[in-house]
Amino acid sequence: MTGGDGVDSGGSGPKLRAAAAAPDPCILDDALVEMFGLLPANSLHRFKCVSKAWCGLVTDPLHCQRFA
């Protein structure tokens, strides 16, 4: 129900908008690989513990050649 001032007094609070579109995971992986290539090996070794996805990127033989 709206009051005289046009404010919704239904108690449901503001409605949140859904995200426009989820980013493409391949683009995110490519960006991470580019950033990983700029870091020292010690940092990469620690980043393996962040998530399974990061561990997979850091230990992937194709990407390891780029990090060396």
Residue scoring higher pLDDT (8 or 49): 49
The token duo for 49 is 């513990």
Predicted confidence band at 7 (pLDDT cuts at 50, 70, 90)? low
pLDDT at 5: 54
pLDDT at 64: 72
pTM of the full structure: 0.55
CA of residue 59 relative to chain centroid, distance: 19
3-state secondary structure of 47: helix
Rg (CA), the chain: 22
Residue scoring higher pLDDT (8 or 52): 52
3-state secondary structure of 2: strand
pLDDT tens figures, 38-48: 988 888 889 88
